[in-house]
Amino acid sequence: MRTIGIAFLVLVVMISPAAGAKEVYIPISGSVGVFRTDVRVFNPSYTDAITVQAYMHPTGNVDNTGVAPVSFDVPARQMKIFDDVLLSLFNATGLAGIRLTSESDFAATARIYAQASNGTLGQFEVGVEATDALLKGAILQLKSNAAFRTNAGFQNTSDEIATVALTLYGKDNQVVKESTLTIQPRGVVAPTEVVGLMGGGITADLSDCWLSFDSNRALAAYGSVVDNGTTDPTFIPAVSDSGVKPPAQTTKEFDIRAQQFHYTVTPVGGSPTTGAFTVNKGDKVVLRIMAADTTHGFSMFPYVSSRTLNPGQTVTVTFDAIESGNFTFFCTIVCGSGHGGMSGTMTVNP
């Protein structure tokens, strides 16, 4: 037994990741035209140098799982400098996301900027840790009108294809348009103007808008808002979206026949029962109540207020089943000697 226990502990040590193992994503960087990106990698240790593996994932939404890494060391308690990182670290140009991994703790930041004769103008990114990449998120404070333009971009942190549901909300917080985006394994979607990203054809007010995403793979996502007058850009990292969309409402319809001295309930497409039916919380319920022989009443608190039905008359009642439990319905008009037993039950399941 002792031998088995020792073997198990050895196995756990062999398959467990290193305690300080880290994975960080810089979802966009560039060395193209006047645009450059400077990256800094920080080793917080006071005693040990670290080795970092860097992967360049080009944009174009291509499969980047076969990309080979470039390694570099960061001495203890130092910040490694990579100005124009795509050229200085990868000997490349263009646009790309960057993946950084190490068996030790580290942090990474980036500044992406445009060069001009009178200086630079840019944006700042904090590297996204793999544990902070999002399956469901929102990119807020976006603007797309004559005064501002907005781009959004994504980096798939998985070795699998990501299927992403996108929803754009306008200034009134109403859904403007929905779209689906497929991102290849380790793929990077370059900054894309938000209207184009959603497929165009949008006339809603986007002067203050936001974009939500729901993905089956974790993403590093961001927005970039640019002032068209000053060209001043603002980098906006995605935030977590904990909201859960309720399921689509189901409509349940029933024909209720009131006849001395009972109710017959027939669900649409189903078989009749005597005085009972069941729905689920959140359902839309439609009752068509008919007096088959004489004058009858119908009441079911709190869903249906008291109604009087003349012989042959049908009354339609519609409501949402927002409260679960058992709810008694009964005849409110004395219709004969058996009137007291003329009742039934609606059950609303949680």
- DSSP secondary structure string for all residues of 86-101: HHHHHS--EEEEEEEE
Half-sphere exposure of residue 46, counting CA atoms within 13 Å on the CB side?
0
Task: In whole angstroms, give the CA distance from residue 125 to residue 127.
Answer: 6
Examine the domain organization and report whether 99 and 41 are in the same domain: yes
The pLDDT tens digits for 209-258 are 999 999 999 999 999 999 999 999 999 999 999 999 888 899 999 999 99
Residues 6+ apart with CB under 8 A from 39: 26, 29, 82, 85, 89, 98, 108, 109, 110
Give the end of a domain, one of 108, 129, 150: 129
Write the CATH number for 287.
Answer: 2.60.40.420
CA dihedral 270, 272, 278, 280 (to 10 degrees): 20
> Could you read off the pLDDT of 24-78 as tens digits, one per residue?
999 999 999 999 999 999 999 999 999 999 999 999 999 999 999 999 999 999 9
Of all residues in the chain, the percent with pLDDT exceeding 90 is 89
pTM above 0.75, yes or no: yes
Residues spanned by the domain of 142: 132-240
Rounded mean pLDDT, 107-121: 96
Whether residue 205 lies inside any domain: the answer is yes
Please report whether residue 4 resides in a domain.
no
Same domain, 215 and 277: no
Structural contact between residues 110 and 80, judged by C-beta atoms closer than 8 angstroms: no
Question: Considering the domain boundaries, does residue 1 fall inside one?
Answer: no
Instruction: Classify residue 6: in a domain, yes or no.
Output: no
How many structural domains is the chain composed of?
Answer: 3
Task: Give the domain CATH number at 199.
Answer: 2.60.290.11
Q: Dump pLDDT digits (tens) for 261-307.
A: 999 999 999 999 998 999 999 999 999 999 999 999 999 999 999 99
**Residues 150 and 226 occupy one common structural domain:** yes
